[in-house]
Amino acid sequence: MSHAPAPQPADPPSPLHVAIIMDGNGRWARSRGLPRTEGHRKGAEAVRASVTGAVRLGVSHLTLFGFSSENWRRPAEEISTLMGLLRFYLRRDLDELAREGVRLRVIGERSRFTPDILSLIETAERRTAANTRLDLTIALNYGGRAEIVRAARRLADRAVAGDLAPADLDESRFAEELYAPDLPDPDLLIRTSGEQRISNFLLWQIAYAELVFLDVAWPDFGEGHLSAALEEFRARDRRFGAVSV
């Protein structure tokens, strides 16, 4: 009598949503005797590698911290380079993103961006809105505290207008006022360059995220580093406040 093979344990699932704080461009450049702007150029290429790696490794949502609201304090030349890189990659990569099934969206306060950058962002979001292979979110001029205050202000306006009773406000209703309320909360937050802090990124959303800190500088980040972080994630026991059995 033949016997059916014993069922094999399924591989642990990849995290649905990975968020990355892309840190270390300046230090990468300084260690090589290069200007900081060269670190940003190299770091922009690492973004492409992370998107490709996320698709291949089964991640369905990827959020990258591209430019914080505090980054406007940097030297004017550096900001100009960063904005130029944003323009360049939005123009160059849009066709590829659309072809590969990547949806692109931007979160953050857009009022400080120039009209041409706003137009490029809106065009990219519109062209890729129906894509489902990877949901790629870029945080630009973004701050986690500012996002929470913005949500609170919008809810307060609704309460004053009589459209919302304070007693009806709960976590789910609050989350509806965040920049991208349809995004699932990140399962995994990665920060590169060895720093171990959150830096005002997705403060509401990462309440139960697993944190992985990597010593690699962002310009050197590749699919192998992403894969290693996913393996560490799979090895962790996520209990969400419950008791492990």
- Is 191 assigned to a binding site? yes
Query: 36-56 and 76-99 helices cross at what angle (nearest 10)?
Result: 20
What is the number of H-type helices and E-type strands within the chain? 7, 6
- Is 68 assigned to a binding site? yes
Task: Give the active site residues.
Answer: 23, 71
- Is 148 assigned to a binding site? no
- Is 198 assigned to a binding site? yes
Q: Is 195:23 a contact under the CB 8 Å cutoff? A: yes
Angle at 39 between CA 34 and CA 62, to 5 degrees: 170
- Is 74 assigned to a binding site? yes
- Is 77 assigned to a binding site? no
- Is 122 assigned to a binding site? no
Phi-psi map region of 14: left, alpha, beta (phi>0 left; psi -120 to 50 alpha): beta
Angle at 101 between CA 95 and CA 104, to 5 degrees: 70
- Is 225 assigned to a binding site? no
Q: Which residues are annotated as a binding site for Mg(2+)?
A: 23, 210
Binding residues: 23-28, 36, 40, 68-70, 72, 74, 191, 197-199, 210
**Known binding residues for substrate:** 24-28, 36, 40, 68-70, 72, 74, 191, 197-199
